[in-house]
C-alpha cells in the first residue's frame, strides 16, 4: 500500500470521522495530563487547602491507570463504540465538575472521576484503531497520534496558561468540554461495536481491586525517595503475585496473564517499556538539571522538554514510512539502535557539559528511537492480536507503559535526590527547584545535582542497551504473529 493510498484511507469518507475523533481524543487526554500543572498555583491560591494540591494530579493518574485496565474487558464484550460513548460523555461531565469545584477536596474527587473517564476513553480509542484499520493504515494513525501528542505537549501548558489568564483556573477544565463534545459527535457511530463471537463477561472486581493496590504503590514510587521506591516495589511485587494467583482461579480476569507473558506479546511490551520508561525517567529532571547546574532561566529550562518530543514525533512519522518497505519488527529494531546511540550520546553531552546544540541533537536522536519503537510496537501488538482480545491487550499495554514511566521517574528521582542528600544533606533545595519554589541552588548542591543526574542517565543507558536484545527477540518471534481482522 502506498503512502498516498494509506493517507486517503484514514481521511477518506468512511474513516474521516473516526480518524479525527481519535486525534481529538488523544489531544484531550494529552491536554488533561499536561495542561493542569500550569494551573496549580492559581488553584492553590483560590481554593486553599494546599496540602491536597498534589492530589489533583495524583488522583487522576491513579484512577486513570486502573480504569485503563478495567475498560479492556468492557471493550471486548460490549464494543469500543459503547465504551467510547460512556467515557466521552463522562469526560465532558467530569471536566465540568472540575471547573465548578467549590473546594480543594471537591476538586480532588472530581479529578478522580475524570481519571476514570479518561482511562476508559483511551482504552476504547486505542482498541478501535486495532479493530477499524488495516495494519498499514494503523501506522499512519499512530503517527498522527504521536504528532498530536507532541504538539499538545508544547501547546497544552500554553493553552492552560491562557485559560488561567482569561477565565482563571476553572477555564482550564472547561476548555476540555467542547473538544470532548466534538469528538463525541464525530465518533458517536463511527467506532466499531462488539465482535460477533464475543459475549459479555462479569466484572472482575477482585482483580480490579488488586490492580488498584499495584497502581497506588506504583504512584508512590514516583515520589523519588529510596524508602518509597523500596516499599512501593515490595507492594507491587506482592500485588503481582496475588494477581497471578487470582487470575489462575477465575474464568475472566481483568488482565489475562498470557497477554503479558506469551512469547508473541512479551517482547512487544518489553521493547516499548524499556524505550519509554528508560528515556522519560531522566528526562523528567532535565529542566531541574538545566536550571540548577547550567543556570538556565525557568522558561528556557521548561522548553527543554520539547527536544525529545520533536524526535519522538519525527520517529513516529519516519517509522510509518519505513513500515511500507520493512517488516514492522525490524523497524522496532532500527529504533532500538537509535535509542542505544542517543542515550549514551546524551550522557556524553552531560558529562562533558557540551554546548546546548550538542545536547539538543542527542535528545532528538533519543526521541527518534523512542518514537519509532513505541509507535511501531503498538502496531505490532495489534497485528498479533485477535479482534476479540483487542480491548484487554491494549489496556494491559497502556497500563504497563504507565507503570514503566512511573518507575523510570521514580528511579531517576531516587538516584538524583539520594546523591544530593549524601553529598550535601540539602535535598530540599532540589525539591524546591523541582517545584518551582526557588530559582537557583548553591554551588555544592549544583555539583551534587550534576552527579546525580549523570548517574540517572547511566541507568537510562542500561535500559537502552537492554532494548536491543528485546528487539532482536521481537524479530525472531514474528512467526508467531496472529493477524487481526480489520
- Tell me, yes or no, whether 58 and 162 share the same domain: yes
Domain end marker among 187, 208, 223? 187
Q: Which three cell numbers stand for residue 443?
A: 554551588
Write the CA distances from 35 to 101, 153, 276, 321, 381, integer angstroms.
17, 8, 21, 31, 30
DSSP letters of 266-320? HHHHHHHHHHHHHHHHHHTTHHHHHHHTT---HHHHHHTHHHHHHHHHHHHHHHH
- Tell me, yes or no, whether 43 and 142 share the same domain: yes
Q: Is 246 inside any structural domain?
A: no
Locus of grid cell 492559581: 42
- Tell me, yes or no, whether 36 and 114 share the same domain: yes
Q: Is 204 inside any structural domain?
A: no
Q: Is 334 inside any structural domain?
A: yes
Tell me how many degrees the CA angle 39-284-363 measures, rounded to the nearest 5: 120
Q: Is 241 inside any structural domain?
A: no
- Tell me, yes or no, whether 269 and 360 share the same domain: yes
| Separation of alpha carbons 51 and 19, rounded Å | 41
Instruction: Tell me what pLDDT residue 474 has.
Output: 92
Total domains in the chain come to 2
Domain enclosing residue 365, as ranges = 255-477
Q: Which three cell numbers stand for residue 321?
A: 514510512
Instruction: Tell me what pLDDT residue 161 has.
Output: 67
Instruction: Tell me what pLDDT residue 201 has.
Output: 59
Contact 312, 150 (CB under 8 A): yes
Digitized pLDDT (tens) for each residue of the chain, 486 residues in all: 334 444 447 777 777 777 887 888 888 777 776 667 667 767 877 887 766 777 787 788 788 888 888 888 888 778 888 888 889 899 999 999 998 999 988 998 999 899 899 888 888 888 888 777 777 788 788 878 777 776 776 666 667 667 767 777 888 888 888 888 888 887 777 777 665 555 555 677 888 898 888 888 877 776 667 777 788 889 989 998 998 899 888 878 888 888 888 888 889 999 999 998 888 888 888 887 888 888 887 667 767 777 888 888 888 889 888 988 888 899 999 999 999 999 999 999 999 999 999 999 999 999 999 989 988 888 888 888 877 777 788 888 888 888 888 788 888 888 888 888 888 876 666 666 555 555 566 778 788 888 999 999 999 999 999 999 999 999 988 765 555 544
Instruction: Tell me what pLDDT residue 200 has.
Output: 55
CATH number of 165's domain? 1.20.1250.20
Q: Is 250 inside any structural domain?
A: no
- Tell me, yes or no, whether 176 and 260 share the same domain: no
Contact 348, 454 (CB under 8 A): no
Question: Would you say the pTM of this structure is higher than 0.85?
Answer: no
- Tell me, yes or no, whether 164 and 266 share the same domain: no
| Separation of alpha carbons 298 and 282, rounded Å | 18
Q: Which three cell numbers stand for residue 249?
A: 482461579
Write the CA distances from 378 to 163, 328, 386, 468, integer angstroms.
34, 10, 14, 17
Nearest to 88 by CA among 14, 166, 24, 132: 24
- Tell me, yes or no, whether 274 and 411 share the same domain: yes
Phi, psi (degrees; rounded to nearest 5) at 285: -105, 5
- Tell me, yes or no, whether 165 and 306 share the same domain: no
Q: Is 216 inside any structural domain?
A: no
Q: Is 384 inside any structural domain?
A: yes
- Tell me, yes or no, whether 262 and 178 share the same domain: no
Q: Is 289 inside any structural domain?
A: yes
- Tell me, yes or no, whether 269 and 372 share the same domain: yes
Domain end marker among 128, 152, 187? 187
Q: Which three cell numbers stand for residue 279?
A: 528515556
Instruction: Tell me what pLDDT residue 3 has.
Output: 41
Domain end marker among 131, 162, 187? 187
DSSP run (H or E) holding 23: helix 16-34
Nearest to 146 by CA among 308, 273, 300, 266: 308
Amino acid at each position: 500500500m502506498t503512502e498516498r493510498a494509506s493517507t486517503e484511507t484514514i481521511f477518506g469518507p468512511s474513516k474521516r470521522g473516526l480518524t479525527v475523533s481519535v486525534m481529538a481524543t488523544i489531544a484531550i487526554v494529552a491536554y488533561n495530563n499536561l495542561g493542569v500543572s500550569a494551573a496549580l498555583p492559581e488553584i492553590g491560591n483560590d481554593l486553599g487547602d494546599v496540602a491536597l494540591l498534589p492530589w489533583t494530579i495524583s488522583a487522576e493518574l491513579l484512577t486513570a491507570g486502573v480504569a485503563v485496565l478495567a475498560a479492556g474487558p468492557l471493550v471486548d464484550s460490549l464494543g469500543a463504540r459503547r465504551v467510547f460513548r460512556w467515557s466521552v460523555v463522562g469526560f465532558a461531565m467530569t471536566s465540568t465538575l472540575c471547573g465548578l469545584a467549590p473546594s480543594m477536596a471537591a476538586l480532588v474527587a472530581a479529578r478522580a472521576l475524570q481519571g476514570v473517564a479518561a482511562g476508559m476513553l483511551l482504552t476504547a480509542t486505542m482498541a478501535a484503531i486495532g479493530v477499524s484499520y488495516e495494519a498499514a493504515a494503523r501506522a499512519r494513525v499512530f503517527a498522527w497520534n504521536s504528532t498530536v501528542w507532541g504538539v499538545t505537549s508544547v501547546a497544552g501548558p500554553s493553552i492552560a496558561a491562557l485559560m488561567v489568564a482569561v477565565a482563571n483556573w476553572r477555564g482550564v477544565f472547561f476548555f476540555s468540554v467542547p473538544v470532548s463534545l466534538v469528538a463525541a459527535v464525530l465518533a458517536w457511530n463511527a467506532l466499531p461495536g462488539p465482535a460477533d463471537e464475543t459475549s459479555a463477561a462479569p466484572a472482575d472486581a477482585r482483580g480490579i481491586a488488586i490492580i488498584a493496590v499495584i497502581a497506588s504503590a506504583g504512584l508512590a514510587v514516583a515520589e523519588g525517595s529510596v524508602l518509597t521506591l523500596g516499599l512501593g516495589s515490595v507492594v507491587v511485587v506482592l500485588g503481582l503475585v496475588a494477581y497471578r494467583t487470582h487470575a489462575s482461579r477465575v474464568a475472566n480476569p481483568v488482565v489475562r496473564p498470557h497477554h503479558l507473558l506469551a512469547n508473541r506479546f512479551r517482547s512487544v511490551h518489553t521493547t516499548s517499556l524499556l524505550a519509554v520508561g528508560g528515556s522519560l525517567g531522566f528526562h523528567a529532571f532535565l529542566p531541574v538539571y538545566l536550571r540548577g547546574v547550567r543556570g538556565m532561566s525557568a522558561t528556557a529550562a521548561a522548553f527543554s522538554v520539547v527536544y525529545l518530543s520533536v524526535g519522538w514525533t519525527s520517529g513516529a512519522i519516519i517509522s510509518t514510512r519505513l513500515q511500507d518497505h520493512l517488516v514492522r519488527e525490524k523497524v522496532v529494531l532500527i529504533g532500538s539502535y537509535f535509542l542505544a546511540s542517543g542515550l549514551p550520546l546524551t550522557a556524553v553531552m552531560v558529562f562533558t557539559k557540551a554546548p546546548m546544540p550538542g545536547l539538543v541533537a542527542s535528545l532528538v536522536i533519543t526521541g527518534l528511537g523512542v518514537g519509532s519503537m513505541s509507535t511501531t510496537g503498538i502496531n505490532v501488538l495489534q497485528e498479533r492480536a485477535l479482534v476479540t482480545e483487542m480491548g484487554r491487550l491494549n489496556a494491559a499495554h497502556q497500563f504497563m507503559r504507565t507503570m514503566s514511566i512511573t518507575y523510570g521517574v521514580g528511579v531517576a528521582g531516587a538516584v538524583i535526590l539520594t546523591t544530593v542528600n549524601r553529598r550535601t544533606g540539602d535535598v530540599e533545595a532540589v525539591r524546591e527547584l523541582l517545584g518551582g519554589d526557588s530559582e537557583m541552588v548553591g554551588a555544592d548542591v549544583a555539583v551534587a545535582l550534576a552527579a546525580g543526574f549523570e548517574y540517572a542517565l547511566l541507568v537510562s543507558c542500561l535500559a537502552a542497551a537492554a532494548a536491543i536484545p528485546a528487539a532482536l527477540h521481537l524479530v525472531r518471534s514474528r512467526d508467531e504473529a496472529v493477524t487481526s481482522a480489520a
